[in-house]
Amino acid sequence: MRIGIVLVSSLAMLSGGCSNKHWDPADYPVTSGETIYSIAWKYELDPIELARWNNLSSPYRIYPGQRLQMRPDDGSTGSQQRSTRSRRAAGPTPDSVTVRQGDSLYKIAQRHGLDAMQLASINSLSSPYTIYPGETLKLKAGKAANRPQSAQKTPKPTNQLTTNKISWQWPVQGKLIARFKSNDSTRKGIDISADEGKAIRAAASGKVVYSGNGLISYGNLLIIKHDRTYLSAYAHNRKLLVKEGQVIAAGQKIAELGQTGAESPRLHFEIRKNGKPVDPLRYLPRS
């Protein structure tokens, strides 16, 4: 009997050591399927700020195994300063490096003050960016061939979002069964009950920045970026109809209503302003 008690106690200690209570917010390990936006959503952070803390530029690509700084360090340019100090300490960047035991693409990029996605591109690596001890990685891209001045055209921007005032609309018509409560962590948005399979539509035009089911309690989830300030989310869907990176119009069908991660068919709808939940009913037109 004493053995059983000891085993249970040991397991409790182990599981306790893996809980969020002991999570180090300064060192977040990225897992498969996550994006800067889904991670920022989970911890109610501004995704643009999170990207800046990690010296990431648009479109903020991250990959499994990468570790993210989850809070600012050394002021507003902490990540950039760390990268600069790293480059200064290491001296001039060599042309190549041999992979050591325990190395990852991100570690090598950080060691030499490089962007991990740029390093992957130089070496023609695709996700999940697996590298092996003894392998040689190039740290510098080859020089591009000189082109005539007339051929050097500035590419047209794509997938751009306007920064004009957003005109919101209801994502689905149904019965409002739960309202936003600022002091309740389980009520970060509103819940709308409707028939399963009913069309879910974008509340405003924007770009899909997350499409998946990796956030606990949200089920099949879509997150849409509307501008620098606002994001919206659509949870518990039966089926997702749009993909990450896709630009969509206001009112476009983006999903089918379901009950994944919920006790009954419903849409859980949220709006975030600079990463923080706000009451959607303050933005949606009165029905």
Specify which residues 2 forms β-bridges with. none
Q: Give the side-chain half-sphere CA count within 13 A for 6.
A: 3
Q: In whole angstroms, what is the distance from residue 46 CA to residue 225 CA?
A: 12
Task: Answer whether 67's CB lies under 8 Å from 82's CB.
Answer: no
The fraction of the chain above a pLDDT of 90, given in percent, is: 43
Q: Give every CB contact of residue 53 below 8 A, 6+ residues apart in sequence.
A: 68, 69, 70, 71, 72, 73, 78, 79
Nearest Cα neighbor of 237 from 213, 215, 203 is 213
- β-pairing, 136-138 vs 253-256, is unpaired
Q: In whole angstroms, what is the distance from residue 234 CA to residue 200 CA?
A: 8
- β-pairing, 253-256 vs 67-68, is unpaired
* Segment 208-219, tens digit of pLDDT: 999 999 998 999
Handedness of CA 141, 146, 151, 154 (dihedral sign): positive
Residue 172: band (very low, low, confident or very high) from pLDDT cuts 50, 70, 90 = very high
* Structural domains of the chain, with CATH: 24-138 (3.10.350.10), 175-282 (2.70.70.10)
* Segment 5-28, tens digit of pLDDT: 444 344 333 333 333 444 455 678
Number of other CB atoms surrounding residue 262 within 10 Å = 17
Task: Answer whether 239's CB lies under 8 Å from 255's CB.
Answer: yes
Q: In whole angstroms, what is the distance from residue 67 CA to residue 64 CA?
A: 9
pTM of the model: 0.63
More confident residue, 186 or 205: 205
Task: Answer whether 31's CB lies under 8 Å from 214's CB.
Answer: yes
Which residue matches tokens 């010296």? Answer: 55
Exposure string over 108-130, b if 16+ CB within 10 A, otherwise e:
bbbebbbbbbebbebbebeeebe
Length of the chain equals: 287
* Segment 38-67, tens digit of pLDDT: 999 989 999 988 988 888 887 888 888 888
pLDDT value at residue 249: 96
Q: Give yes or no for residue 284 having a pLDDT over 70.
A: yes
More confident residue, 100 or 272: 272
Whether the ω angle into residue 133 lies within 30 degrees of 0, i.e. cis, is: no
Average pLDDT for residues 195-214, to the nearest whole number?
96
